[in-house]
Chain A
Amino acid sequence: MNLVEERRQEALSLFEKVGLPNKRDENWKYTDASRLADLLEIDGSNTAINIEGLGMVDLDAYRMVFINGAFDAAQSSLPDEVNIVSLATLQSSVSDDDSQALAKLFQVSGDEPLFNGLMALNAATASDGAAVCLADNSVLNKPLYILHVSNQNNVIRHGLMLGEHAQAQVIEHFISTAENKALSNCVTALILKNGASLEHSRLQQEGKQQSHIARVEVKQCRDSSYTFHGVELGASLSRTDLVVNLSEQGASCALNGLFVLDGRQHVDHHTRVDHTAPHCTSHENYRTVLDGRSHAVFNGKVVVHEGASKTDSVQSNGNLLLSKHAEIDTKPELEIYNDDVKCAHGATVGQLDDKQLFYLRSRGVSEEAAQELLTFAFADEVLAKMSNTTVRRYIEKAAFAKLPHSEGIEGLLGE
């Protein structure tokens, strides 16, 4: 058995030992993972799906398409000169020398922040993923668009490594073609070497019955910069654990989240940022717009370790409740073991501002349109930091379509 297989076996044993997360685990207090119990079997029969007309983002980009967790080369378009391959391909062709590096991608330890059984299960059962390795000083000249299409359970594991001063933009997009119950379990592991810079968007638009479990792990070296945009529009239950380690000085991350939920949707993001080196920055901004009986959970934990002087950390979480049945559980947390730091955190929960509503109405905007306009503006603020305007417009349109009375202010888009 090679090293990779050994790690995956270990991960399986670990999962068998710990099982699914349960409500006794503080990190899973509000999200009921027992709902996932009957969704763990992977159906090996992989149906082909044509991505035409599925509503993907119309981007000038390199494209990797995964159908039910398997790379579809025919529907993908990748550059020849850059090292972007599918993980399954890489595994089958890797030399013994390189297998050690690859094995690391499948290594899971119970000591990791926000560890849970699902991430072990992912390492054990992932069928495929993107394996991206950007050389030092290289700039990916187009965004990498990773499209995940599913109509059944799927397990995906991506590994991306940006060499020193490398730059890239990656967009992960999740859609499903069926309304059945199914589970997506996706892990994205990122390593940013010195001075590397990555803008990473994750757009989750899976079907109404779908469950989506994700983990994004980021290891940042010196002076690297990571920007995350997590947009949650779809699925019935969606949980993301975002774990960032600012391990060398001068590293910075910006974590942005937007949930627009309705019906009985349940979305939970747990973020964990470890400042272990001096002069690192973490800026976090999450916003939710909740209608119907939807439920959002935000838990943002920042740990400033002893050696992390001159840390600059800001966390903010704003929540707009459009319905009296919607619910938010928000908990920004700070643990600080160093005196020489600048840290702030805060959360707000509320309705629309009466003064703003009146101002708009006094200018002739109808009450409903004014409400929609302010709701949209509230949500859109998070997207302002997204550099790719095509992706931003796509998200705005999709988020907009979920608002209750959006007809009146359609003209706002594209202004």
Chain B
Amino acid sequence: MLVIKDLHVSVDGKEILKGLSLTINAGEVHAIMGPNGAGKSTLSNVIAGRDGYEVTSGSLTYKGEDLLAMKPEERAWAGVFLAFQYPVEIPGVNNTYLLKAGVNAKRKYQGLDELDAFDFMSVVKEKAKLVELDTSFLTRSVNEGFSGGEKKRNEIFQMAVLDPDLALLDETDSGLDIDALRIVAGGVNKLRSADRAIVMITHYQRLLDYIEPDFVHVLADGEIQKTGDKSLALKLEEHGYDWVKENL
């Protein structure tokens, strides 16, 4: 689904990703772990299409298409979703409106008719249950006044409604207490499917106790240093990131 080849990315002239390669197939769950400053968020932002990240060489191919040639909204229509590490508050834009605009823009791109208000609301209500989100959230402004946990639940709720093929979860576990983590992870697990790939970017092994990955990658110094199964995460937890460097 996503093939990343020898990706070099600079931010403000400083190289952050230094030749990263990674292949992600449908149905797989990948965890990308790494210390602060390793380039984890850079990777998710480049995939989602945020400005300010300069790709100096390498390629990002999504379903056979050059992802870098697509605008952020086109990537969303094609099925890419980023759950933000820090979801931004947007006063005055309500959650329902945002989702409806997003869902219908995607359907239009796929050549489908727009959902009518009734069908849309029944989808939304069903998905809200996945992350135990009260429907009063729907009429509130996007993330405005939400607690940290509510913001992260809202991200997973949006993921459920927008139904992406490739979901990137950028530190979705950070700042969550154990109950909120359980709810968020439960939502993600219900969204696992054979057609969907999920990439979790995280600093902590804790998340992987709740969402079991097929692959664990260690990202450090702008490259994937090591790839393994979930036992790799446990070793990391035990020995710290220096252990990876020492064992290269």
A and B interact physically: yes
User: In the complex, which of the residues B76, B87, B101, B102 contacts A409, with contact meaning CB atoms closer than 8 Å?
Assistant: B101
Q: Is the CB of B94 within 8 A of A415?
A: yes
B98 within 8 A of A: yes
User: In the complex, which of the residues B92, B96, B102 contacts A364, with contact meaning CB atoms closer than 8 Å?
Assistant: B102
**Chain A 315-359, CB within 8 Å of chain B: the 1/0 string?**
000000000000000000000000000000000000001111011
Which residues in B have their C-beta under 8 angstroms from that of A381? 91-92
Given the known A-B contacts A354-B51, A363-B98, A366-B73, are A374 and B90 also in contact in the complex, defined by CB atoms under 8 Å? Answer: yes
Q: Is the CB of A364 within 8 A of B88?
A: no
Which residues in A have their C-beta under 8 angstroms from that of B98? 360, 363, 365
Which residues in B have their C-beta under 8 angstroms from that of A353? 88
B158 within 8 A of A: yes
Give Cα distance in the complex from A46 to B82, angstroms.
64
A202 within 8 A of B: no
User: In the complex, which of the residues B87, B97, B106 contacts A415, with contact meaning CB atoms closer than 8 Å?
Assistant: B97
Q: Is the CB of B72 within 8 A of A358?
A: yes
Give the Cβ gap from A384 to chain B, nearest Cβ, in Å: 8
**Chain A 368-394, CB within 8 Å of chain B: the 1/0 string?**
011001101110110000000000000
A residues 381-415 in Cβ contact with B at 8 Å: 381, 409, 411-412, 415
A361 within 8 A of B: yes
Given the known A-B contacts A376-B92, A378-B92, are A361 and B97 also in contact in the complex, defined by CB atoms under 8 Å? Answer: no
Q: Is the CB of A374 within 8 A of B97?
A: no
Give Cα distance in the complex from A358 to B90, angstroms.
11
Give Cα distance in the complex from A353 to B75, angstroms.
21
**Chain B 39-50, CB within 8 Å of chain A: the 1/0 string?**
000000000111
Question: Chain A interface mostly helix, strand, loop or mixed?
Answer: helix
Q: Is the CB of B103 within 8 A of A356?
A: no
Which residues in A have their C-beta under 8 angstroms from that of B62? none
Give Cα distance in the complex from A351 to B82, angstroms.
25
**Chain B 216-234, CB within 8 Å of chain A: the 1/0 string?**
0000000000000000000
Which residues in B have their C-beta under 8 angstroms from that of A365? 73, 98, 101-102, 105
Which residues in A have their C-beta under 8 angstroms from that of B75? 362
A367 within 8 A of B: yes
B71 within 8 A of A: yes
Which residues in B have their C-beta under 8 angstroms from that of A359? 84, 87-88, 90, 142
Which residues in A have their C-beta under 8 angstroms from that of B90? 356, 359-360, 374, 377
B93 within 8 A of A: yes
Given the known A-B contacts A358-B51, A362-B76, are A369 and B92 also in contact in the complex, defined by CB atoms under 8 Å? Answer: no
Given the known A-B contacts A354-B51, A359-B84, are A364 and B106 also in contact in the complex, defined by CB atoms under 8 Å? Answer: yes
Give the Cβ gap from B106 to chain A, nearest Cβ, in Å: 5
B162 within 8 A of A: yes
Give Cα distance in the complex from A66 to B140, angstroms.
41
Count A interface residues, CB 8 Å. 27
B100 within 8 A of A: yes
CB-based nearest B residue for A369: B101
Which residues in B have their C-beta under 8 angstroms from that of A411? 97, 100-101
User: In the complex, which of the residues A362, A367, A380, A415 contacts B82, with contact meaning CB atoms closer than 8 Å?
Assistant: A362
User: In the complex, which of the residues B71, B94, B100, B106 contacts A361, with contact meaning CB atoms closer than 8 Å?
Assistant: B71
Which residues in B have their C-beta under 8 angstroms from that of A360? 90, 93, 98
Which residues in B have their C-beta under 8 angstroms from that of A378? 92
Give the Cβ gap from A351 to chain B, nearest Cβ, in Å: 14
Which residues in B have their C-beta under 8 angstroms from that of A366? 73, 105
Which residues in A have their C-beta under 8 angstroms from that of B48? 358, 362
Q: Is the CB of B76 within 8 A of A355?
A: no
Q: Is the CB of A362 within 8 A of B97?
A: no
CB-based nearest B residue for A379: B92
Q: Is the CB of B73 within 8 A of A355?
A: no
Give Cα distance in the complex from A264 to B115, angstroms.
41
Q: Is the CB of B158 within 8 A of A363?
A: yes
Which residues in B have their C-beta under 8 angstroms from that of A409? 101
Give Cα distance in the complex from A369 to B97, angstroms.
12
Give the Cβ gap from A157 to chain B, nearest Cβ, in Å: 37
Which residues in B have their C-beta under 8 angstroms from that of A377? 90-93, 141
Which residues in A have their C-beta under 8 angstroms from that of B91? 377, 381
Centre residue among A360, A361, A362, A411 by max chain B CB count within 10 A? A362
Give the Cβ gap from B82 to chain A, nearest Cβ, in Å: 5
Q: Known A-B contacts: A356-B90, A360-B90, A373-B101. Give 4 more (CB < 8 A).
A: A358-B50, A359-B88, A362-B75, A365-B101
The 9 closest A-B pairs by CB, nearest first: A377-B92, A364-B102, A364-B76, A361-B72, A363-B102, A364-B105, A361-B73, A355-B88, A359-B88
- The 24 listed contacts between A and B (C-beta, < 8 Å) are A353-B88, A354-B51, A356-B90, A358-B51, A358-B72, A359-B87, A359-B90, A360-B90, A360-B93, A362-B48, A362-B50, A364-B73, A364-B103, A364-B162, A365-B102, A366-B105, A367-B71, A369-B101, A370-B73, A373-B97, A376-B92, A377-B91, A411-B100, A415-B94
**Residues of chain B whose beta carbon lies under 8 Å from any beta carbon of chain A:** 48-51, 71-73, 75-77, 81-82, 84, 87-88, 90-94, 96-103, 105-106, 141-142, 158, 162
